[in-house]
Structure 1
Amino acid sequence: MRIIESDQRTGIVIYEFYIVLADGTEERKQVKFESDQATLLDHQWQH
């Protein structure tokens, strides 16, 4: 559906991916990008 990029101004960028699954439900995934490394977060990032 959409992607939001959030620059934390600390060298960290959080990407929020809003997706629609095959069954029609919506889901959000967050990825933290820091020091040229991406990490899928298993908890909600506190902005």
Structure 2
Amino acid sequence: MTDSNVSERSKRVLQALIKRYIQAGAPVASSTVRQEAGLPVSAATVRN
């Protein structure tokens, strides 16, 4: 997969998820990822 195949939102979600997982060493809730990434979407949207 090339960089152009990944949306900006997906990149932000993945970066927030990795950052929080490294900090906590535990699973990360989708609501936490949404908040960390600063996305104006629901937690359910982040899970999809």
> Does the pair score TM above 0.5?
no
Which fold has the larger relative contact order, with Cα–Cα distance below 8 Å and residues 6 or more apart in sequence? 2
Greater helix fraction, Structure 1 or Structure 2: 2
Greater strand fraction, Structure 1 or Structure 2: 1
TM-score (norm 1): 0.29
Larger radius of gyration: 1
TM-score (norm 2): 0.29
